[in-house]
A and B are shown apart, each in its own frame.
Chain A
Amino acid sequence: MCVVACGAAQTDVAKPEPSASSTVMVTPPPLDDAGAVAQMDAAVVVPPETLPPPKPTTIRLSSTTGDAVDQELDKGDAAFERNALDEARVHYDAARKLGPKRAGPSVGIARVRIAKSTSALDYGVAKGNAEVNTAVRELKTALAIEKDYGPAYAELGRAQLLVGDGDAALVTLRRGAELLPNDAEAQSALGVALLATGHKEDALQALQRATTIDSGSAPRHGNLGTVFLLLGRVSDAVREFETQARLADGDARAHSDLGAALLQTNAMPRAIAELERAVHLDGTRASYLTNLGYAYQLSGRRADAIAKYREALHIDDKFASAWINLATALAKDPKTWPEARAALMTAKKIDPNDPRVKANLDELDDLEKSKH
């Protein structure tokens, strides 16, 4: 931005912006919106593709020999996958006794050390965390034993990211991904590191590789969908969320993710179906109810929308987005303008800096003036 002339000092940055309120993914329509969206898109039929079961998220430490060391490593990996960290440590220790010249046991022990020390970690604390630093040393020792041992690179990279060494983490994780080209978790670790360090496009490629390798994992499709949304690629996000919802049909969030993304593409009937499914699976989330209300509102089902907003506010009366959306629905009828104004004033109290409140109050003012 190029400022031609400098005027008064700016003030907005220092102004407190309470985050006490929240907002859903969707934007309330303007008050003068006619309401009904005649979008009757045909439902996209997802082919009945059979996807493989999800792979473990723990990078396998054993080699292909299947010897006693490998057997202990496999047991350790299985325990780690179940989050049975102490049990995993027992097996990794046993593996180290059996194979002191192997890198795998040290990587397993370091992995457990990190998992235990970071399970309740406050932001940034890992930097000075002795356990994580010890794990980093162990992992480097493992690489001294086996310099091309992929799992050691993957775990070391994660640890380096935890202690705030982003540049080193990327180099390490790239090497890990090279050495483990068919391991979804190694690709994913690289992807999230790239994401964390501002390399979003590269992150996307790595996460796509991870999803291709582990195509039966609902969370991987969901993560990829979210990253697509981060990059503004809504259609791609919808595709990933569709797969996530198909793989995790009983997961309310999966259907809410899909429904909210579909709303952005104006695919109303499908969005409503997915959001209704989310609410059916979990009717306790105000955000799901508000999104469903919004979808009804966009489809011209004003009474249904108002009912859903009220349900959301019954669950959480400080949910600013529900108040704002309720106001936009109420403002369609002059008889309920006072109630609409009251809803907006409530939203304003919750989040005085939400720009939607002021915009809608201005529009309501205009509507009332035009009536008189």
Chain B
Amino acid sequence: MSDWLTRLTADEWISAALGELRRAEESYARSDARGGLAGCKRAAGMALNAALRVEPNDTWGRSYVDHVVALSKDASAPEAVRAACTLLLETRPPNSDVLSLRSKAGDAKLIEAARDVMAHAYWVVKKHAS
């Protein structure tokens, strides 16, 4: 198992993901949509590191986004989780040269998507703990 993955235990990866999600929420709260989206993806990816810690899978790649991409295409994953991954991946960050109309509801959807992925990862971890 890779050194970068074993640095934290599965539970520590979940904790790290929760911290990242909180930072994403804080980014959205101060209207930093780019930071919020990046944080949501990182939070989801960190939680998936927890899943990888207990169920190694080389096809999931190394980066956080690699993990989210892989889960979005995993037919054995629940539909809601794949949809959450897709939302995270397909949502574009704001550009400096375009004006985006963002809404709190839209931001909340992305936070919820990250939570769905994290919840799925947590289930994978708990499946091994039980």
Give residues in A with beta carbon < 8 Å to B: 1-8, 10, 12-27, 57, 121-124, 126-127, 162-164, 166, 188, 192-193, 195-200, 203, 219, 223, 226-227, 229-232, 253, 256-257, 260, 264, 285-287, 316, 318-319, 321, 353, 355-356
Contacts and interface: CB of A to CB of B under 8 A. Distances in A.
B76 A124 contact: yes
A10 B3 CA distance: 31
A122 B14 CA distance: 19
A257 B11 CA distance: 10
B93 A19 contact: no
Contacts of B100: 1-4
A369 B22 CA distance: 31
Interface residues of B, number: 75
A19 B18 contact: no
Interface of B: 4-5, 7-8, 11-16, 18-20, 22-23, 25-27, 33, 35, 37-39, 41-42, 45-46, 49, 51-52, 55-57, 60, 62-67, 74-81, 83-84, 89, 91-93, 95, 97-103, 106, 115-116, 118-120, 122-124, 126-127, 129-130
A253 B27 CA distance: 28
B124 to A, nearest CB: 7
Nearest to A1: B106
A223 B130 CA distance: 11
B8 A287 contact: yes
Contact of B7 (A122, A226, A318): A318
Contacts of B16: 22-25, 287, 321
Contacts, number: 185
Contact of B66 (A2, A6, A16): A16
13 contacts: A1-B101, A3-B92, A3-B100, A16-B62, A19-B49, A19-B63, A25-B22, A198-B116, A230-B18, A230-B115, A256-B15, A287-B8, A355-B27
Contact of B23 (A1, A27, A57, A192): A27
Contact of A27 (B19, B42, B62, B84): B19
Contacts of A188: 130
B130 A57 contact: yes
Contacts of A226: 14, 18, 122
B13 A230 contact: no
A200 B63 contact: no
A164 B19 contact: no
